[in-house]
């Protein structure tokens, strides 16, 4: 089954389940206030971390280096901000994990290791030497 299809189906189910469970424990109004507060605090902190990543990327460019980690980190922060805007507790948890630099680096390193292993498996090539042979009358194969 397609993993994207599973995510589209499972995320709302998990979010509804958590909203019902947590809402029954702390109350409906408190749950709604908690969802709004996590969204506001999360988006504000995402903006802060995004500006830090942007500043770090410009520093890398000033040193004539490629800011690859900053670009990936910026994309992760943008995705985290999107997750924090979506109402729910599971998406908020994942969003906060992606916003904080320590957990973001850990998660991105795990993903990078996973994809680098797949790339190494796909690189099947044969090494060899070659020689350019000019098309002269003196030299024929």
Question: What digits encode the pLDDT tens for the residues 118-141?
Answer: 656 666 667 777 777 776 655 555
pTM: predicted TM-score of the whole model, two decimal places: 0.75
Cα–Cα nearest to 86, from 132, 19, 4, 24: 19
Domain containing 52 equals 13-119
| Cβ–Cβ under 8 Å, residues 104 and 98 | yes
57-66 residue pLDDT tens: 999 999 998 8
Residue 140 domain-assigned (yes or no): no
The torsion region of residue 131 among left (phi > 0), alpha (psi -120 to 50) and beta comes to beta
SS3 of residue 123 by DSSP: coil
Residue 25 domain-assigned (yes or no): yes
Q: What is the pLDDT of residue 116?
A: 77
How many whole angstroms separate alpha carbon 101 and alpha carbon 85?
Answer: 19
23-45 residue pLDDT tens: 999 999 999 999 999 999 988 99
Residue 20 domain-assigned (yes or no): yes
Residue 62 domain-assigned (yes or no): yes
Residue 40 domain-assigned (yes or no): yes
Residue 137 domain-assigned (yes or no): no
Residue 90 domain-assigned (yes or no): yes
SS3 of residue 88 by DSSP: coil
Residue 46 domain-assigned (yes or no): yes
Domain count, the chain: 1
Q: What is the pLDDT of residue 68?
A: 87
């Amino acid at each position: 089954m397609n993993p994207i299809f599973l995510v589209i189906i499972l995320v709302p189910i998990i979010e509804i389940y958590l909203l019902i469970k947590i809402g029954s424990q702390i109350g409906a109004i408190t749950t709604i206030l908690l969802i709004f507060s996590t969204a506001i605090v999360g988006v504000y902190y995402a903006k802060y971390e995004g500006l830090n990543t942007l500043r770090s990327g410009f520093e890398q460019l000033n040193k004539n280096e490629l800011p690859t980690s900053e670009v990936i980190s910026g994309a992760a922060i943008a995705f985290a901000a999107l997750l924090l805007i979506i109402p729910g507790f599971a998406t908020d948890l994942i969003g906060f994990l992606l916003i904080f630099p320590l957990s973001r680096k850990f998660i991105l390193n795990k993903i990078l290791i996973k994809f680098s292993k797949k790339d190494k498996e796909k690189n099947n090539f044969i090494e060899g030497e070659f020689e350019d042979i000019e098309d002269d009358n003196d030299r024929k194969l």
